[in-house]
A = this chain, B = another copy of it.
Amino acid sequence: MYLLVHGDREYLRGPGEELQTDLGVLDVPEDVEPGETLETHLGEEFLVRGLRGPDLFNHLERTGAPMMPRDIGLVVGHTGAAAGDRVLDAGTGTGVLSAYLGRMGAEVTTYERDAEFADVARQNMEMAGVAETVDVRTGDLTAELDELDGGFDLLTLDTGDAADVVRRAPDLLVSGGYVAVYSPFVEQSREAALVAREVGLSDVETVETIQREMDFGERGSRPSTAGVGHTGYLTFARNE
Protein backbone atom coordinates (compact mmCIF):
# COMPACT_ATOMS: atom_id res chain seq x y z
CA MET A 1 0.00 0.00 0.00
CA TYR A 2 1.06 3.54 -0.70
CA LEU A 3 -0.08 6.99 0.29
CA LEU A 4 -1.31 9.08 -2.61
CA VAL A 5 -0.67 12.66 -1.52
CA HIS A 6 -2.12 15.87 -2.94
CA GLY A 7 -1.52 18.87 -0.69
CA ASP A 8 -3.11 18.06 2.67
CA ARG A 9 -5.06 15.11 1.26
CA GLU A 10 -3.78 11.57 1.66
CA TYR A 11 -5.32 8.33 0.41
CA LEU A 12 -4.17 4.77 0.95
CA ARG A 13 -4.14 2.61 -2.19
CA GLY A 14 -2.30 -0.45 -3.49
CA PRO A 15 -0.88 -1.19 -6.96
CA GLY A 16 -3.72 -1.86 -9.44
CA GLU A 17 -6.29 -0.02 -7.33
CA GLU A 18 -8.32 3.00 -8.29
CA LEU A 19 -8.77 6.33 -6.52
CA GLN A 20 -11.92 8.31 -7.21
CA THR A 21 -12.18 11.81 -5.80
CA ASP A 22 -13.41 15.22 -6.93
CA LEU A 23 -9.92 15.64 -8.38
CA GLY A 24 -10.71 12.89 -10.91
CA VAL A 25 -10.04 9.21 -11.31
CA LEU A 26 -6.58 7.82 -10.83
CA ASP A 27 -5.48 4.26 -11.64
CA VAL A 28 -2.50 3.12 -9.62
CA PRO A 29 -0.15 1.17 -11.92
CA GLU A 30 0.88 -2.35 -10.86
CA ASP A 31 4.52 -1.32 -10.99
CA VAL A 32 4.16 1.94 -9.08
CA GLU A 33 7.15 3.06 -7.02
CA PRO A 34 7.32 5.53 -4.12
CA GLY A 35 8.52 8.92 -5.26
CA GLU A 36 6.61 8.79 -8.55
CA THR A 37 3.94 11.31 -9.49
CA LEU A 38 0.61 10.05 -10.83
CA GLU A 39 -2.09 12.01 -12.63
CA THR A 40 -5.88 11.76 -12.46
CA HIS A 41 -7.90 11.90 -15.69
CA LEU A 42 -8.41 15.57 -14.88
CA GLY A 43 -4.67 16.14 -14.77
CA GLU A 44 -4.39 16.55 -10.99
CA GLU A 45 -1.13 15.23 -9.56
CA PHE A 46 -0.68 12.83 -6.67
CA LEU A 47 2.66 11.98 -5.14
CA VAL A 48 3.25 8.30 -4.30
CA ARG A 49 4.69 7.86 -0.85
CA GLY A 50 5.71 4.77 1.10
CA LEU A 51 4.00 4.29 4.46
CA ARG A 52 5.87 5.06 7.64
CA GLY A 53 4.85 4.39 11.24
CA PRO A 54 2.99 7.67 11.87
CA ASP A 55 1.00 7.05 8.65
CA LEU A 56 -0.19 3.78 10.15
CA PHE A 57 -1.37 5.65 13.21
CA ASN A 58 -3.26 8.11 11.00
CA HIS A 59 -4.65 5.76 8.34
CA LEU A 60 -5.25 2.28 9.75
CA GLU A 61 -8.86 1.46 10.52
CA ARG A 62 -9.43 2.08 14.21
CA THR A 63 -11.25 -0.22 16.59
CA GLY A 64 -10.48 2.01 19.58
CA ALA A 65 -7.92 4.63 20.49
CA PRO A 66 -4.63 3.23 19.18
CA MET A 67 -1.41 3.56 21.13
CA MET A 68 0.25 6.83 20.16
CA PRO A 69 3.54 6.94 18.25
CA ARG A 70 5.30 8.44 21.25
CA ASP A 71 4.19 5.63 23.55
CA ILE A 72 5.15 3.02 20.96
CA GLY A 73 8.52 4.73 20.73
CA LEU A 74 8.95 4.64 24.50
CA VAL A 75 8.26 0.90 24.51
CA VAL A 76 10.91 0.46 21.82
CA GLY A 77 13.44 2.69 23.55
CA HIS A 78 13.06 1.21 27.03
CA THR A 79 13.08 -2.43 25.84
CA GLY A 80 15.43 -2.19 22.86
CA ALA A 81 12.94 -3.88 20.50
CA ALA A 82 14.87 -4.91 17.38
CA ALA A 83 14.89 -7.08 14.29
CA GLY A 84 14.67 -10.77 15.10
CA ASP A 85 12.88 -10.25 18.39
CA ARG A 86 10.10 -12.68 19.20
CA VAL A 87 7.28 -10.58 20.66
CA LEU A 88 4.16 -11.71 22.50
CA ASP A 89 1.51 -9.01 22.56
CA ALA A 90 -1.94 -8.82 24.16
CA GLY A 91 -4.69 -6.32 23.41
CA THR A 92 -4.03 -5.87 19.69
CA GLY A 93 -6.67 -3.21 19.15
CA THR A 94 -5.98 -1.31 15.96
CA GLY A 95 -2.58 -3.00 15.82
CA VAL A 96 -0.34 0.05 15.49
CA LEU A 97 2.17 -1.23 18.06
CA SER A 98 2.30 -4.65 16.37
CA ALA A 99 2.75 -3.02 12.97
CA TYR A 100 5.60 -0.83 14.22
CA LEU A 101 7.32 -3.88 15.74
CA GLY A 102 6.75 -5.95 12.61
CA ARG A 103 8.22 -3.20 10.47
CA MET A 104 11.39 -3.21 12.51
CA GLY A 105 11.82 -6.91 11.84
CA ALA A 106 10.29 -8.44 14.94
CA GLU A 107 8.11 -11.54 14.77
CA VAL A 108 4.91 -10.75 16.67
CA THR A 109 2.17 -12.97 18.07
CA THR A 110 -0.70 -10.78 19.21
CA TYR A 111 -3.99 -11.65 20.93
CA GLU A 112 -7.26 -9.77 20.51
CA ARG A 113 -10.36 -11.00 22.35
CA ASP A 114 -12.89 -9.28 20.11
CA ALA A 115 -13.24 -11.32 16.89
CA GLU A 116 -14.32 -8.35 14.78
CA PHE A 117 -11.48 -6.22 16.09
CA ALA A 118 -9.08 -9.08 15.31
CA ASP A 119 -10.35 -9.17 11.70
CA VAL A 120 -9.78 -5.45 11.32
CA ALA A 121 -6.32 -5.82 12.85
CA ARG A 122 -5.47 -8.54 10.30
CA GLN A 123 -6.47 -6.23 7.46
CA ASN A 124 -4.42 -3.48 9.06
CA MET A 125 -1.36 -5.76 9.13
CA GLU A 126 -1.86 -6.37 5.39
CA MET A 127 -1.95 -2.65 4.77
CA ALA A 128 1.12 -2.12 6.91
CA GLY A 129 2.96 -4.81 4.93
CA VAL A 130 3.59 -7.01 7.96
CA ALA A 131 1.01 -9.78 7.53
CA GLU A 132 3.87 -12.29 7.25
CA THR A 133 5.46 -11.39 10.57
CA VAL A 134 2.52 -10.36 12.73
CA ASP A 135 0.20 -13.21 13.69
CA VAL A 136 -3.10 -11.80 14.98
CA ARG A 137 -4.86 -14.45 17.06
CA THR A 138 -8.45 -14.15 18.16
CA GLY A 139 -8.54 -14.94 21.83
CA ASP A 140 -7.56 -14.08 25.35
CA LEU A 141 -3.85 -14.39 26.03
CA THR A 142 -4.46 -15.03 29.72
CA ALA A 143 -6.43 -18.18 28.82
CA GLU A 144 -3.79 -19.36 26.36
CA LEU A 145 -0.74 -19.02 28.56
CA ASP A 146 -0.41 -22.75 29.24
CA GLU A 147 -0.29 -23.45 25.51
CA LEU A 148 2.62 -21.11 24.84
CA ASP A 149 6.19 -22.32 24.80
CA GLY A 150 8.03 -19.22 25.98
CA GLY A 151 11.27 -17.99 24.56
CA PHE A 152 9.93 -14.50 23.88
CA ASP A 153 12.23 -11.50 23.91
CA LEU A 154 9.48 -9.06 24.59
CA LEU A 155 6.04 -9.14 26.14
CA THR A 156 3.84 -6.09 25.42
CA LEU A 157 0.56 -5.83 27.28
CA ASP A 158 -2.26 -3.36 26.80
CA THR A 159 -5.08 -5.12 28.66
CA GLY A 160 -6.87 -4.61 31.94
CA ASP A 161 -5.60 -7.93 33.32
CA ALA A 162 -1.98 -7.39 32.34
CA ALA A 163 -0.82 -8.27 35.86
CA ASP A 164 -1.98 -11.86 35.37
CA VAL A 165 0.33 -12.18 32.39
CA VAL A 166 3.18 -10.42 34.18
CA ARG A 167 2.94 -13.15 36.81
CA ARG A 168 3.90 -15.66 34.12
CA ALA A 169 6.58 -13.49 32.52
CA PRO A 170 9.49 -15.51 34.01
CA ASP A 171 8.28 -18.56 32.02
CA LEU A 172 7.51 -16.64 28.87
CA LEU A 173 10.64 -14.51 28.49
CA VAL A 174 14.22 -15.36 27.64
CA SER A 175 16.85 -14.23 30.08
CA GLY A 176 17.17 -10.46 29.66
CA GLY A 177 13.79 -10.23 27.94
CA TYR A 178 11.44 -7.37 28.80
CA VAL A 179 7.82 -7.00 29.67
CA ALA A 180 6.11 -3.67 28.96
CA VAL A 181 2.65 -2.86 30.32
CA TYR A 182 0.66 0.09 29.07
CA SER A 183 -2.18 1.33 31.27
CA PRO A 184 -3.97 4.65 31.69
CA PHE A 185 -4.51 3.95 35.39
CA VAL A 186 -2.37 4.22 38.49
CA GLU A 187 -4.00 1.19 40.11
CA GLN A 188 -3.36 -1.19 37.20
CA SER A 189 0.19 0.05 36.84
CA ARG A 190 0.79 -0.42 40.53
CA GLU A 191 -0.52 -3.95 40.40
CA ALA A 192 1.62 -4.82 37.38
CA ALA A 193 4.73 -3.40 39.08
CA LEU A 194 4.07 -5.17 42.37
CA VAL A 195 3.47 -8.51 40.64
CA ALA A 196 6.63 -8.01 38.58
CA ARG A 197 8.67 -7.57 41.76
CA GLU A 198 6.87 -10.45 43.44
CA VAL A 199 7.78 -12.94 40.70
CA GLY A 200 11.40 -11.85 40.69
CA LEU A 201 11.64 -9.65 37.62
CA SER A 202 14.34 -6.98 37.82
CA ASP A 203 14.63 -3.33 36.78
CA VAL A 204 10.94 -2.84 37.55
CA GLU A 205 9.86 0.73 36.87
CA THR A 206 6.69 2.59 35.99
CA VAL A 207 7.13 5.80 34.08
CA GLU A 208 4.77 8.57 33.24
CA THR A 209 5.52 10.73 30.27
CA ILE A 210 4.36 14.27 29.72
CA GLN A 211 4.97 15.66 26.29
CA ARG A 212 4.40 19.22 25.23
CA GLU A 213 4.78 20.97 21.95
CA MET A 214 6.76 24.20 21.75
CA ASP A 215 5.36 27.29 20.03
CA PHE A 216 7.97 29.32 18.17
CA GLY A 217 6.08 32.48 17.29
CA GLU A 218 7.18 35.99 16.42
CA ARG A 219 6.77 37.24 19.98
CA GLY A 220 8.89 34.48 21.44
CA SER A 221 9.24 30.81 22.31
CA ARG A 222 7.02 29.01 24.77
CA PRO A 223 5.42 25.67 25.50
CA SER A 224 2.07 25.36 23.78
CA THR A 225 -0.92 26.68 25.66
CA ALA A 226 -2.89 23.75 24.29
CA GLY A 227 -1.43 21.22 26.67
CA VAL A 228 -1.05 17.52 26.01
CA GLY A 229 -3.01 15.19 28.17
CA HIS A 230 -2.11 11.96 29.83
CA THR A 231 -2.11 8.84 27.68
CA GLY A 232 -0.84 6.04 29.86
CA TYR A 233 1.71 4.83 32.34
CA LEU A 234 4.32 2.39 31.05
CA THR A 235 5.60 -0.29 33.38
CA PHE A 236 8.77 -2.13 32.43
CA ALA A 237 10.46 -5.15 33.98
CA ARG A 238 13.18 -7.53 32.92
CA ASN A 239 13.60 -11.24 33.25
CA GLU A 240 16.66 -12.41 35.13
Using CB atoms and an 8 Å cutoff, list the residues of chain A in contact with chain B. Answer: 3, 5, 34-35, 47-50, 52-56, 68-83, 100, 103-105, 153, 174-176, 178, 184-190, 193-194, 205-214, 216, 219-231, 233, 240
Contact = CB atoms under 8 A, between A and B. Distances in A.
Contacts of A219: 185
Contacts of A208: 211-214, 223
B52 A221 contact: no
Contact of A230 (B53, B69, B103, B222): B222
A96 to B, nearest CB: 10
Contacts of A222: 184-186, 230, 233
Contact of A54 (B79, B188, B190): B79
B56 A80 contact: yes
Contacts of A68: 77
A130 B104 CA distance: 14
Contact of A52 (B176, B209, B212, B231): B176
Given A52-B176, A213-B206, A214-B233, A75 B73 contact: yes
B78 A104 contact: no
A11 B219 CA distance: 37
B176 A50 contact: yes
9 contacts: A34-B174, A48-B175, A55-B176, A70-B209, A185-B219, A190-B221, A193-B216, A208-B212, A208-B223
A53 B104 CA distance: 13
B78 A103 contact: no
Nearest to A83: B105
A209 to B, nearest CB: 5
A238 to B, nearest CB: 8
A100 B211 CA distance: 22
A191 to B, nearest CB: 9
Contacts of A54: 78-80
A210 B3 CA distance: 33
A78 B82 contact: no
